[in-house]
Amino acid sequence: MTIRETLEEREYVYLSPFASHSRETLGRDHEEEPCNMRTDYQRDRDRILHCKTFRRLKHKTQVFLAPEGDHYRTRLTHTLEVAQIARSISKALGLNEDLTEAIALGHDLGHTPFGHAGERALNEVCSFGFRHYEQSVRVVEILENKGRGLNLTKEVRNGIYNHRTSGSPSTLEGKVVRFSDKIAYINHDIDDAIRARIMSESDIPKEYSDILGSSTKVRLDTLIKDIVINSMDKPDIIMSDEVQKAMGSLREFMFERVYRNPIAKGEEIKADSMLKYLFDYYMKHMDKLPDEYIYLLNEQNEQAEKVICDYISGMSDQYSVAKFEEIFVPGFWKQ
């Protein structure tokens, strides 16, 4: 018996009957020889962790554009916090931590530079629209590995696609990530907003803090425990009505106080215009795209708008600024 087979057998002994078992995966689009050491979900996690798109998340905006400080969250640190929260919940519920982690690490791979501002910009200029959760799946199915994708299991791709608020994941592990994403960003965005001095802990309405707690640590503890207690030995991932309503209301408060705050979001107009200029430029100069994207156009017959969105959405904040300057800002003559 291989190490992988031993691990698969352990899942049947130790995991909840509602967990996703590696041996019962719906599989990959392209069949592969099983690994002797790792389960399929462990392989998916490793492929995501080692891909180039994952590494670029460290230079992509979470909420604050180009903040002057080392401790503000980026898209990468957000992803790691989601993975930690999701694993804690999955472990307590006896779910498959490897599947949970793979979904969590991959859920934002398709995010644009400059966060949701970039997503809105591409959605406005592309006739197909642009949604980061769809792009995240496109990254792992097509864009990574020189157009071959990562060939992930269907369960991981389903969880990535359905992590959005209106999503409906097919596994409990996917549902855990869907909740964990919101728990993570609400709380770390509060922390970052306090660090940026655009709000204080005391600004949070007492009707929410009385239920959830008056610090990031206490809120995380409350939210995670509430999910575990209410989901234990059940075929679903749920929260109590009181806590879920308070979390939803706190999220709305954050939209009003932070996500639409002119101080926090003041530079977004520039980012929006810059990405639209880049999109328009590459629509007129497709020969200027890197070879891997020209390959998608010429060999895979992909739509031009979609491929240009692939390129721009994959840029880091800094790289998109550098490309804009290279194309549109005149350089000084040097002899």
Measure the CA–CA gap between 285 and 326, rounded to whole angstroms: 14
Residues in the chain, pLDDT under 50: none
In the chain, % helix, strand, coil (3-state, to 5) comes to 65, 0, 35
**Rounded Cα distance, 296 and 316, in Å:** 21
Phi, psi values for residue 72, rounded to 5°:
-75, 145
Three-state SS for 192-257 is HHHHCCCCCHHHCCHHHHHHHCCCHHHHHHHHHHHHHHHHCCCCCCCCCHHHHHHHHHHHHHHHHH
Look at residue 264 in the predicted model and tell me its pLDDT.
63
pLDDT given at position 331 = 78
Structure confidence at residue 334 (pLDDT): 62
| pLDDT (0 to 100) of residue 261 | 78
pLDDT of residue 69: 66
In angstroms, the CA 319 to CA 315 distance is 6
Token pair recorded at residue 169: 């994941």
Quote the pLDDT of residue 267: 80
